[in-house]
């Protein structure tokens, strides 16, 4: 009798132990699924992102006038108030002639870096043909006599160099440098005059559009300049607005949108900037905080620890 009772008790213990193990395994599986399911809070994440997107879409509906500058200047204040071109023919002509020596130099660099590839010859021959055609059209340009004489000299020096280069099997680095140095002052003179006429036209376009703004709106206006990365430093259009508004640097009222060329795309980026600055102010009392990676500060500390900048690394 006692033996039977002990047997039943032992069996009950085994069942209880088995049930306990199953419960533990179930909880472990649930915890593992919880930790591994990246979409566990997908609905919550989407709701937060949707609210952010809706606020962002209204960021320009306020009272901030925006000048969007690409190949034209467009003024937007809730809606488009007008657009002006600001690129005179003289600017385009000076720029086009200046591309001749830059093309020659590029062909020379190609020849030196790709020995055995004859493509540089075709490049120089094409430039020679186009330069001769340009030379015959100088009387049709907006150049004054001094400018015309300068372009003639630029073309003649370039054609002379091309003829010398094509007469040899390879590009002579010293001759290429000598040619480049000889035309550099001509390029700088073209650049100086191109900057003058474009700034004059830009100033006129901005002032025409700004007539629609009150003095207070002009004091709060922002400018978005679109363009490639390599034109960012010292960009003419950005400098214009920095001087006009006495700003120290881009990023506050003047914004350069790198590798952005469409006006609507630039406005979309600017809406993000405006919305993020409000969020940065609310959370951190730092308007520009969201323009840095939110993980950035913590990442710096962790990486300093991990790579021994804070002492021996402890995994």
Domains of the chain by residue range: 54-65+213-300, 89-197
The crossing angle, in degrees rounded to 10, of helices 89-113 and 119-135 is: 160
**Contact predicate 59/271, CB 8 Å:** yes
Note the pLDDT of residue 9: 47
First to last CA, the chain: 59
CA 86 – CA 70 distance, rounded (Å): 10
Out of 61-70, 176-185, 281-290, give the one with best mean pLDDT: 176-185
Q: For residues 143 and 230, which has the higher predicted lDDT (pLDDT)?
A: 143
Helices (H), 114-144: 119-135
**Contact predicate 247/254, CB 8 Å:** yes
pTM for this model (two decimals): 0.78
CA 46 to mean position of chain CA atoms: 28
CA 75 – CA 79 distance, rounded (Å): 8
Q: For residues 34 and 315, which has the higher predicted lDDT (pLDDT)?
A: 315
CA 304 – CA 310 distance, rounded (Å): 6
**Contact predicate 224/185, CB 8 Å:** no
pLDDT in tens, 90-138: 999 999 999 999 999 999 999 999 988 999 999 999 999 999 999 999 9
**Contact predicate 268/276, CB 8 Å:** no
Q: Hey, how many other C-beta atoms are within 10 angstroms of the C-beta on 4?
A: 8
Sign of CA dihedral 134, 136, 141, 144: positive
């Amino acid at each position: 009798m006692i033996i039977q009772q002990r047997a039943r008790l032992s069996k009950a213990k085994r069942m209880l132990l088995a049930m306990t193990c199953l419960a533990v395994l179930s909880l472990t599986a649930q915890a593992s699924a919880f930790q591994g399911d990246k979409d566990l809070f997908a609905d919550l994440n989407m709701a937060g992102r949707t609210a952010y997107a809706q606020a962002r879409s209204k960021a320009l509906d306020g009272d901030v006038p925006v000048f969007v500058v690409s190949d034209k200047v467009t003024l937007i204040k809730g809606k488009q108030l007008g657009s002006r071109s600001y690129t005179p023919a003289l600017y385009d002509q000076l720029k086009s002639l200046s591309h001749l020596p830059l093309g020659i130099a590029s062909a020379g660099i190609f020849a030196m870096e790709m020995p055995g590839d004859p493509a540089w010859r075709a490049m120089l021959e094409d430039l020679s043909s186009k330069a001769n055609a340009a030379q015959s059209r100088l009387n049709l340009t907006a150049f004054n006599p001094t400018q015309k004489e300068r372009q003639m000299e630029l073309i003649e020096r370039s054609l002379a160099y091309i003829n010398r280069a094509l007469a040899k099997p390879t590009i002579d680095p010293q001759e290429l440098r000598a040619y480049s140095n000889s035309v550099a002052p001509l390029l700088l003179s073209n650049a100086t005059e191109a900057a003058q006429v474009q700034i004059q036209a830009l100033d006129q376009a901005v002032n025409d559009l700004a007539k629609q703004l009150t003095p207070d709106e002009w004091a709060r206006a922002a400018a978005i300049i679109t363009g490639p990365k390599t034109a960012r430093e010292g960009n003419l259009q950005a400098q214009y607005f920095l001087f006009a508004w006495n700003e120290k640097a881009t990023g506050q009222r003047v914004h350069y949108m790198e590798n952005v060329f469409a006006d609507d795309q630039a406005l979309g980026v600017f809406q993000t900037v405006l919305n993020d600055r409000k969020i940065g102010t609310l959370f951190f009392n730092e308007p520009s905080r969201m323009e840095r990676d939110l993980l950035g500060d913590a990442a710096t500390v962790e990486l300093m620890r991990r790579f021994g900048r804070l002492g021996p690394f402890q995994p």
